[in-house]
Structure 1
């Protein structure tokens, strides 16, 4: 497996993780805003036809609730993200050290041996 394959797999994994989180976040946000506006007896749009919004303190309640509700999922995602990035970094360091060793080794006869090419 080449470095580009590993990067492609990692990119796909991150994309799937993000795509699984965004829909629930935005749906929850819309529902929260609508419920808060109803509680204030306000319509979704103001007099000029623009969408109403909540201030940052009101939205902080939603953000905290969303993070608390999804805490385990986010923690698992972060652990897996760190594990995957550590593995990639370790493999890159290993290839770099091996290439350096091969380039400096007199037993190699000065020939370059690139481990990244497969």
Structure 2
């Protein structure tokens, strides 16, 4: 069984999860969340002893990470833009001057914000559904590949120990 150690480096403020084993050591570096997408970047180090299956898994993990970042960056930009437009309309409706906007920004009524959120989610429903379908597909692939890699590691570890005892 692998031992897991979590190390926090002060200089980079990154968390390193290291799985130590006799045969395979995998390192995953997790960075600070992106300011727009709020997704933490991952750096998965490739080992020269990785099997083709492990390499495929790591590439799919990195590709999925980039896909998440891209989607949430676009989504959060659209949300901010829609929120600004909503605020402008709301302030114009309430006839608040631009000098008083900073003071009354906190005064948006919950009912109006609920309408904004409902409309934003309704307008972006198809994009969210597409994202959900794609995420489920990618997640299934990741789980299947992870299971294959785990089985492969177990098999080779057992196979190697079995034949080393016979010799």
Q: TM-score, normalised by structure 2?
A: 0.57
Query: Matched residues in 2 for 1:75 and 1:96: separation?
Result: 31
Matched, 1:94 2:148: yes
Shift of residue 73, structure 1, vs aligned partner: 0.6
Query: Matched residues in 1 for 2:129 and 2:115: separation?
Result: 20
Query: Contact (CA 8 Å) 1:44, 1:51: kept in 2 or not?
Result: no
Matches within 5 A, 1:34-73: 34-46=88-100, 50=103, 52-53=105-106, 54-73=108-127
- Larger RCO: Structure 1 or Structure 2 (Cα < 8 Å, ≥ 6 residues apart)? 1
Pick the structure with more strand per residue: 2
Structure-2 change in CA distance of 1:45 and 1:109 (3 Å): farther
User: Gapped runs of 5+ residues in structure 2?
Assistant: 1-51
Pick the structure with more helix per residue: 1
Q: CA RMSD in A?
A: 2.5
Structure-2 change in CA distance of 1:45 and 1:93 (3 Å): farther
Query: Matched residues in 1 for 2:61 and 2:128: separation?
Result: 22
Matches within 5 A, 1:1-118: 2=55, 3-46=57-100, 50=103, 52-53=105-106, 54-105=108-159, 109-110=163-164
Q: TM-score, normalised by structure 1?
A: 0.78
- Superposition misfits of 4+ residues, deviation over 4 angstroms: none
